Amino acid sequence: MVAVVGRTNAGKSTLVNRLVGEKVSIVSGMEQTTRNRIRAILTEPRGQLVFLDTPGAHKAENELGTLMNRMARGAGRDADALLVVFDGAAPVRMEDEGWMARAAFSDIPVLFALNKADAPRFDPARFREAWARIRAEKRPDAPEPAWHALSAETGQGCDALLGALFALANPCEALPFPEDIVSDFPRKLAIADIIREKLIARLFQEVPHQLGVRVERIDETPDGAWEIQATILVNRASQKGMVIGTKGRTLRAMRRAAEPEIAEAYGLSACKILPFVRVEPKWFRNHFILRELGYKE
C-alpha cells in the first residue's frame, strides 16, 4: 500500500492514473481537485500495488478544506511506503517543505517523485537543496529517500518507479484485492467526480472550488444504457447561471465530455446525464452534505 501525498497540483492523481494504466482519479489544473482518498489498484505478474491518492495539502478555508488536509495527513498511517510527489517545474513551496519534514520522521520507506520532468522549467536541484536543509535541521540521520525524476504526463521514469515499489513490496499469501478491479471507489462518487472534472475545465475563478456534485440515482434502461440523475451544488445564485451557461451550453459541454467517458468506463451502450443545478449556500460547511458527497466518514 503506497500513500501518494504532496501539495496540491503536484500531479499526484495524474501519476496514480499513469501507474495503474487507467483513469481512476480526476485531474485538473485547478488546485484542490481531489477531495477524497481514492484507492487505485495495479495487478500484474510481479504482484499487486495499491496506491492511495489523496487531496493535496493547502491552506484550508472551510470545513471541506480541513477535512481534505486531514485525509492527506492521515494517509501514511496504513501504508507500507510513502510516495511524496513534487512539481519539479515549480518553486519549492511551504507545503513541499512540510512533506519533507514529515518524510524525515517517516517509519516507512519514503520515495520522492520529482514530477513534470517533461516541462521546460524542470529543476530538481532546488528540491534536493531544500531536502538537505530540512533533513539537517530536523533529523540528520534520516534515511535518504529514493529520488525519481519522472513525468506522469509522458510516462518517462514511471517504470523505474514501479520497479522500486515492487522491490519494496511485502510478500503475501493472497492478493488483497481481486485481480480485475482498478479501484474500490464507490460508483456514484466516481461518476460525480467525472462530472465535476468536466465542469471544472469549463468554469473560472472561485466557481470550480465551490462546486459539489452528487449522483442521486442511476437508472438502467432495458438496452443497457444508464440515466444518471445528478445534482450540482453551487454556493451562490450567480454561480448557477455560470454552471448552466448561455442557453445551457456549459452543461451540454459537460455532458458531451462526461457521457462517453462514463459509458466507456462502465462498458455501457450509452449514458445520459440529467443534471440539476441547485443553490445551496455554504454547502462546504454543511457536515450532512459533506458526508453525502463522501468527503467525511
Ligand X SMILES: Nc1nc2c(ncn2[C@@H]2O[C@H](COP(=O)(O)OP(=O)(O)OP(=O)(O)O)[C@@H](O)[C@H]2O)c(=O)[nH]1
CA distance 218 to 221: 10
Answer yes or no: are the C-beta atoms of 234 and 244 closer than 8 Å.
Answer: no
Among residues 2, 3, 5, 11, the one that binds ligand X under rule CB under 6 A? 11
C-alpha cell at 130: 531544500
Instruction: Say which residues have a Cβ less than 8 Å from residue 256's Cβ, sequence separation at least 6.
Output: none
Distance from first CA to last CA of the chain, Å, rounded? Answer: 20
Q: Decide whether 13 or 151 has the Cβ nearer to Mg ion.
A: 13
Q: Which does 10 bind (CB under 5 to 8 A by kind): Mg ion, ligand X, none?
A: ligand X
Q: Which stretch binds ligand X (CB under 6 A): 9-17, 94-102, 181-189, 217-225?
A: 9-17
Q: Tell me if residue 192 falls in helix, strand or coil.
A: helix
| CB 117 to ligand X: min, Å | 7
Choose, by CB under 5 A, the member of 13, 36, 151, 239 that binds Mg ion.
Answer: 13
Of 36-55, binders to ligand X (CB under 6 A) are 55
| Shortest Å, Cβ 196 to ligand X | 12
Kindly state whether residue 153 participates in binding ligand X, applying the rule CB under 6 A: yes
Give the nearer residue to ligand X in terms of CB position, either 126 or 272.
126
Alpha helices in the chain (DSSP H): 12-20, 63-74, 94-104, 125-138, 158-168, 187-200, 237-244, 249-266, 287-292
Among 28, 36, 48, 235, binds ligand X (CB under 6 A): 28
For ligand X, the closer CB: 101 or 119 = 119
> Of residues 19, 20, 49, 56, which one binds ligand X by CB under 6 A?
56
Write down the H helix ranges in 29-77: 63-74
User: Using the rule CB under 6 A, which residue among 40, 142, 152, 215 binds ligand X?
Assistant: 152
69 lines the binding site for ligand X (CB under 6 A): no
Residue 34 is a binding residue for Mg ion (CB under 5 A): yes
Instruction: For strands 47-53 and 38-44, give the pairing.
Output: antiparallel
Does residue 151 interact with ligand X by CB under 6 A? yes
Q: Which is nearer to ligand X, 111 or 277 (CB)?
A: 111
**Nearest-approach distance from CB 105 to ligand X, in angstroms:** 22
DSSP character at residue 93: -
Please report whether residue 69 would count as binding Mg ion according to CB under 5 A: no
Stretch that binds Mg ion, among 26-34, 149-157, 184-192, 228-236 (CB under 5 A): 26-34
| Residue among 275, 252, 264, 203 nearest 33 (CA) | 203
Query: Rounded CA gap, 230 and 191, in Å?
Result: 9
Nearest CA to 10 out of 56, 72, 74, 52 is that of 56
Largest separation between any pair of C-alpha atoms in the chain? 65
Binding site for ligand X (CB under 6 A): 8-14, 27-29, 31-34, 55-56, 115-116, 118-119, 151-153
Binding site for Mg ion (CB under 5 A): 12-13, 33-34
